[in-house]
Amino acid sequence: MDSRISARSLGAHLGGWRGSGPAYEALADAIRLLCLDNRIAPRTVLPAERELAAALGVSRTTVAATYRSLRDTGHIESLRGSGSVTLPLRRSGPVRNTPGLDATAIDLQQASPAAWPGLPAVMTEVAQQAASLVSRSGYDVIGAPALRDAVAARYSTRGIPTSPDEVLITTGAQSAIHLLASVLVGRADRVLMETPTYPHAAEAFRQGGARLVGVPVDVDAGWDLDRATQAFARTHPTLAYLMPDFQNPTGRSMSAAEVDAFVAAAEASGTVLVLDETTADLAIDRPGAPVPFPVGVRTVRIGSLGKTVWGGLRVGWVRADVDVVRRLASGRPVHDLGTPEFEQAVATALLPRLDEITAQRGQVLREGRDALRSALQRRFPEWIVPSAAGGVSLWVNIGEPVSGPLVMNARSRGLYLSAGSRFAIDGGHDRRLRVPFTAPAETLVRAVDLLRDAWDDVRAGSRAGAPDDLAAVV
């Protein structure tokens, strides 16, 4: 049975969809973007024309033209008696061939650096142990003892005394987040999250039935502590999901005052703090040491090797009290039966070298950040381009609420980005654009040139045309 989205809900997801071009095309592009981001799933019935027109304050003619445009590009089909239904997106197809531009697409949706150069040698060494690896059952919902030992030792070195029994190995950080959402969160429980935030985490908690409570975080001002304190006191969230170091997408890290405020509010409301540390090791020129959360506070920590070593190495972990680890292990078979043995063996070999690895990653990210920031400042003097002491991206203020139309226009030129609204909890951030600096410097400079052309086109009120085939955002 097809799912439905109400006119009110669709309006909230659309955010600042109005551009300077024809209203029906701006609205069509905004809906296309929601489909790309999977915020509207395939086979979803859209609101009737009259209902959507009333919710958005536009004419029914505008909505009718919007749906016609979406039908023309293969994003919806309209069936008598069933309404307009979104279609699965085709995943391949040519990028618009713009004269003078390289037709090879640049994908900056996935903010993940290329693999650490030493990884192939480590994999080769581990492969020589294949006979001993395959002698095991291959099913272990808690994780290989050697890897749990290595993860525990790394936490203990950081001043967080940890035993292997307090570690559970997962198939990447996203798997850990889904597991937490399914085991620790009940339907209608409140989960406090930063906004903007990592969108796949928000999706996981929503899928688990949580009601999300947003707390703003800003590149310059940091976390809104007044809003956070009020949100804890008013809603008593079950969990609070935070990225305290090099927050994605803002790149901001918590100060001592911010850490203290969240700890005090969480303890007062009985909230468990979920600390996503997947970007914490990606320092470039951090002015000082990261501010630790006090030992003894109710925390669940998530880590992985996806950002530090390679996105294709799907190994992550949860560090929590023993009873929480047991609950997660009991609930895990619903999702999977363990992390692959070979990847765990590779991770075990990598953990003792992680300081060496992160130093190399910092240099690579510094080159990308500096090249991207310089190119953006040169080509977009009207934008506010922040710096970042680490992490994977710049959270750019483009000055006008046209992030969605800009992303769609850039996409038609072969540049794939994610609009600011993708990272919002309840809409907004339409004046923001996340631009990762994980690609090579020369690629980033070329991407900025394409982005400038797209910006000029959007500002001029013209529409470059949506491609017929659009890949799903990751």
- Residue 456 sits in a domain whose CATH number is 3.90.1150.10
Q: Is residue 449 part of a domain?
A: yes
Range of the domain at 232: 131-355
Contact 405, 28 (CB under 8 A): no
Q: Is residue 125 part of a domain?
A: no
Q: Which residues of 394-413 are buried (b: 16+ CB within 10 A; e: fewer)?
A: bbbbbebbbbbbbbbbbbbb
Res 20: pLDDT: 61
Q: Are residues 73 and 110 in the same domain?
A: no
Question: Residue 269, SS3?
Answer: helix
Q: Are residues 274 and 144 in the same domain?
A: yes
Number of separate domains in the chain: 3
Taking Cα atoms as reference points, which of 453, 420, 444 lies closest to residue 33?
Answer: 420
Res 80: pLDDT: 79
Q: Are residues 351 and 362 in the same domain?
A: no
Res 30: pLDDT: 85
Q: Is residue 467 part of a domain?
A: no
458/417 Cα distance (integer angstroms): 15
The encoded tokens of residue 164 equal 């292997």
Last residue of a domain, one of 330, 355, 380: 355
Q: Is residue 56 part of a domain?
A: yes
Identify the residue whose tokens are 């291959």. 138
Identify the residue whose tokens are 């090791």. 281
Measured in degrees and rounded to the nearest 5, phi and psi for residue 56 equal: -95, -10
Amino acid of residue 106: I
E-strand stretches of 142-226: 167-170, 190-195, 211-218, 222-223
Contact 246, 388 (CB under 8 A): yes
Q: Are residues 54 and 155 in the same domain?
A: no
Beta-carbon contacts of residue 87 (< 8 Å; ≥ 6 apart): 42, 43, 74, 75, 76, 77
DSSP-assigned letters across all residues of 23-51:
HHHHHHHHHHHHHHTTSS-TTEEPPPHHH
Q: Is residue 339 part of a domain?
A: yes
Contact 258, 290 (CB under 8 A): no
Q: Is residue 473 part of a domain?
A: no
Res 299: pLDDT: 97
Last residue of a domain, one of 355, 376, 392: 355
> Own/partner pairs for 25-31, CB < 8 Å, 24+ apart?
25/66, 25/69, 25/463, 26/405, 27/56, 27/58, 27/62, 27/63, 27/66, 28/66, 28/69, 28/70, 28/73, 28/466, 29/404, 29/405, 29/408, 29/463, 29/466, 30/404, 30/405, 31/66, 31/70, 31/75
Measured in degrees and rounded to the nearest 5, phi and psi for residue 202 equal: -60, -40
Contact 284, 390 (CB under 8 A): yes
Q: Are residues 377 and 327 in the same domain?
A: no
Q: Are residues 345 and 374 in the same domain?
A: no
Q: CB atoms < 10 A from the CB of 103, how many?
A: 11
- Residue 146 sits in a domain whose CATH number is 3.40.640.10
Last residue of a domain, one of 295, 326, 355: 355
Q: Is residue 469 part of a domain?
A: no
Q: Is residue 92 part of a domain?
A: no
Q: Are residues 343 and 242 in the same domain?
A: yes
Amino acid of residue 17: W
| Neighbouring C-alpha atoms within 13 Å toward the C-beta of 219 | 20
Task: Give the chain's mean pLDDT.
Answer: 90
Q: Are residues 339 and 370 in the same domain?
A: no
Q: Using 70 as the pLDDT threshold, list the residues of the chain that sit under it.
A: 1-2, 16, 19-20, 90-103, 462-474
Query: What percentage of the chain has pLDDT greater than the value 90?
Result: 73
The pTM (predicted TM-score) of the whole model is: 0.84
Contact 372, 383 (CB under 8 A): no
Res 26: pLDDT: 84
Cis peptide before 196 (omega within 30 of 0): yes
Q: Are residues 375 and 412 in the same domain?
A: yes
341/79 Cα distance (integer angstroms): 49
240/238 Cα distance (integer angstroms): 7
Q: Are residues 290 and 151 in the same domain?
A: yes
Q: Are residues 165 and 81 in the same domain?
A: no
**What single DSSP character describes residue 172?**
S
- Residue 82 sits in a domain whose CATH number is 1.10.10.10
Number of H helices and E strands in the chain, helices first, is 16, 17
| Neighbouring C-alpha atoms within 13 Å toward the C-beta of 233 | 8
What residues does 156 pair with on adjacent strands? Answer: none
Summarize pLDDT for 267-315 with one digit per residue, the tens.
999 999 999 999 999 999 988 889 999 988 999 999 999 999 999 999 9
The dihedral over CA atoms of 306, 309, 313, 317, expressed in degrees to the nearest 10, equals -50
Q: Are residues 260 and 370 in the same domain?
A: no
What residues does 212 pair with on adjacent strands? Answer: 191
167/317 Cα distance (integer angstroms): 7
Instruction: Tell me how far apart the 2 most distant CA atoms of the chain are, in Å.
Output: 68
Q: Edge-to-edge, what's the strand order for the sheet holding 44-45?
A: 3-4, 44-45, 83-86, 76-79
Measured in degrees and rounded to the nearest 5, phi and psi for residue 36 equal: -60, -40
